[in-house]
Amino acid sequence: METYMMSIGGQPVQAERTFGVVNPATGEVFARVPAGDTAHLDSAVAAARAAFPAWSRTPDADRQAAVHALAGVLERHMPELMDLVTRETGKPLGGLNGVGAGMEVGGAIAWTHVTADLSLPVEVIQDNEQARVEVHRKPLGVVGSITPWNWPLMIAIWHVMPALRAGNTVVLKPSELTPVATLRFVELASGVLPPGVLNVISAERDAGVGEAMATHPGIDKIVFTGSTPTGRRIMAAAAGNLKRLTLELGGNDAGIVLPDANPEALAARLFGVGFHNNGQTCACLKRLYVHDSLYEPLCQALARLARDAVVGDGLQADTQLGPVQNARQRDYVHALVEDARAQGARVLSGGQLPEGAGYFYPPTVLADVRDGMRVVDEEQFGPVLPVIRYSDIDEVIARANDNPNGLGGSLWSSDPARAAALAPRLECGSVWINEHGAIQPDAPFGGVKQSGIGVEFGRYGLEEYTTIQTVKIMKS
């Protein structure tokens, strides 16, 4: 069994103890990683602070080249990293509609290259006979990154690459459930970056490392992807030194199918955006509102697709959907289904805990569900799609908005212009027309309400890793 190492100050670091990482397809430990602690965190922050002055003063073109080189590292080790991602998350190598470990590593490569080519040139506000006023973007210092278990390598890349590109140094803590691919990537990155520029710590849930990052006086910014309750705690703890924050938190994304849509034509796409990665994506479709006139045909089409989906070990070539990543999440998903069933929901597919090893759960389509049921009001984050009936467009927009989350939303119609005209009425950070969750590295992505603070990706995301300095040069 392979044992992986932390990387601090460019050196591999072990801890007194290790802990096991479970393959959710088997329920068995497949790798061991160091059980880091707050002393390791202090060492990593010290290394990052020591590396910051030189890295922040590195010529912009050299930092750009280094980030491109990191993309090259990902490319050269893509098969290995795909295998690790599949073993620790359960997602298939290929997956439903190509959404799997290959997409995770391939997307990480693409994001890295695009981020490398971003820049924040000096902006000139005034230049006349009296004065020249310039706005400069400067790196913040040490960025602390805390990543989740659903897309562990991809989201680490989303956090790390803009931080490095802007001239910051980084301390990264992956989820204790999925640290392996991230540890391996940082080990490989140590061959490209100066010592201390990128550091990674693995730690068990109760070690207090995440909490210590939020309060640490040597960390200038926290970027976190995860649950809203954890985001609130980070925000409160970060007040000690007024850390900058980027928080991408929970989503309970609504999709609205307008009455002019073709249910048979849309069913496969709706199924894909609701169930890829087993629904374990913040911007998955999680509440589907369907007009009365289309309701039953679309419910039945979705259920057929769910019953036909190939669920199994992600290392098998034909697998479309793997297991839920951990037993706790699977049990939560099943509890939501059972609550809906008890309140009269029709279970059109799935809905049963399978026997055997691993944390599998069948793709489940629920009909006759209502706002107010837990499966609608709470984010399932699993392979369950509640389909909710509506009759009036104004009413359904109000119902879609009546949720504390506001990450993404979608409108589905045979008339895209009509759907686009309704988009501004949805209270969410991104709206897709005849699509859902289609993010890209050059377009900003973030939530409103309790789905987060700040944005990621593109120029807007890169700005989040900088502070503004105004320089006024008098000429007379």
277-291 pLDDT per residue, tens: 999 999 999 999 999
**Is residue 282 annotated as a catalytic residue, yes or no?**
yes
Of 248, 427, 456, 464, which residue is the catalytic one? 248
Domains in the chain and their CATH numbers?
2-248 (3.40.605.10), 254-433 (3.40.309.10)
Q: What is the DSSP letter of 471?
A: E
Residue 214 has pLDDT above 90, yes or no: yes
Respond yes or no: is residue 204 known to be catalytic.
no
Whole-number Å distance between alpha carbons of 421 and 423: 6
Assess whether pLDDT exceeds 90 at residue 201.
yes
pLDDT on residue 6: 98
In the predicted model, what is the mean pLDDT of residues 11-17? 98
Q: From start to end of 355-434, where are the E strands? A: 364-369, 384-390, 408-412, 430-433
Flag whether the pTM goes above 0.85. yes
When pLDDT is cut at 50, 70 and 90, the band that residue 263 belongs to is very high
DSSP tag of 143: E
- Tens of pLDDT along 224-246? 999 999 999 999 999 999 999 99
**DSSP annotation of 456:** B
The pLDDT of 98-123, averaged and rounded, is 98
Q: Name the residue with tokens 């045979």.
A: 414
Residues 6+ apart with CB under 8 A from 453: 235, 245, 246, 247, 446
**Model confidence over 152-172: pLDDT tens digits?**
999 999 999 999 999 999 999
Tokens 């890793």 map to which residue?
Answer: 465
**What percent of the chain has pLDDT above 90?**
99
Contacts of 6 (CB under 8 A, 6+ apart): 12, 13, 14, 15, 33, 34, 36, 40, 183, 199, 200, 201, 202
Tens-place pLDDT, residues 48-90: 999 999 999 999 999 999 999 999 999 999 999 999 999 999 9
Q: Kindly report the length of the chain.
A: 476
For the record, the structure tokens of 85 come out as: 């991602």
Contact residues for 335 (Cβ-Cβ < 8 A; gap 6+): none
Cα(221)–Cα(57) distance, integer angstroms: 19
State the Cα–Cα distance between residues 256 and 290, nearest whole angstrom. 6
What local confidence, expressed as pLDDT, does residue 476 receive? 82
- Give the Cα separation of 350 and 112 in Å (integer): 38
One of 88, 176, 282, 428 is an active-site residue; which one?
A: 282
